Amino acid sequence: MDEYRNYTMKSESAQTRDLCRKLEALGCSTYPLIGSRWSPIGWPDRYIDCKDFQCFIEFKAAGKWLRPGQYDMCKRLHLKVYVVVLPDKLYSLDKKLCVFNNVRELYAVLQSHA
C-alpha cells in the first residue's frame, strides 16, 4: 500500500514519465508532443507507437479532464486518442474504459481497442 501511496504522490509529469518508461519496456515507443514547437495547442501529451497499434494519450492528474480546446483537437485527429487520468483510469474521449492495476493491463486494453 505504501508503494501505491508514494506513486500517487508523484507529480503528474513524474507519473507520466513512469508509465511511458513501462510502456517502452513492453516494446512501445513513446514520443512526447507537449512543449514542442511542432505541437499545436491542444495536442495530446504522447504519441504511442506499439507493434500492434498506434494512438495518442493525454495524461491528466486525478480529478482533471480535457479543456474544451483539447477535446476539439483530439476529436479531429485521425488516430484514436485516450485519456489516462492518473494514476489508474483509462478513458476514450466518450467513456471510461477501465481501471488498470499495472501497465500490462493498460497495454492490453489499448491493444484491444486499436
Please tell me the total number of residues recorded for the chain in this structure: 114
pTM, two decimals, is: 0.87
Domain hosting 21: range is 2-112
**Per-residue pLDDT at 38:** 65
Residue range 94-109: average pLDDT? 96
Alpha-carbon radius of gyration of the chain:
13
Residue range 20-40: average pLDDT? 86
| DSSP-assigned beta bridge partners for residue 57 | 46, 82
Residue range 63-86: average pLDDT? 94
pLDDT in tens, 48-59: 999 999 999 999
**Helix or strand holding residue 3 (H, E):** helix 2-8
Residue with cell 492495476: 101
Residue with cell 477535446: 71
Residue 69, number of CB atoms within 10 A of its CB? 11
Q: Which residue has the higher pLDDT, 6 or 104?
A: 104
Residue range 94-100: average pLDDT? 96
The number of folded domains in the chain is: 1
pLDDT at 5 over 50: no
User: Domain with 85 in it: what CATH number?
Assistant: 3.40.1350.10
Q: Is the dihedral of CA 29, 37, 17, 48 positive or negative?
A: negative
Residue range 58-83: average pLDDT? 94
Backbone angles phi, psi at 27, to 5 degrees: 100, 5
Residue range 77-98: average pLDDT? 95
**Per-residue pLDDT at 49:** 98
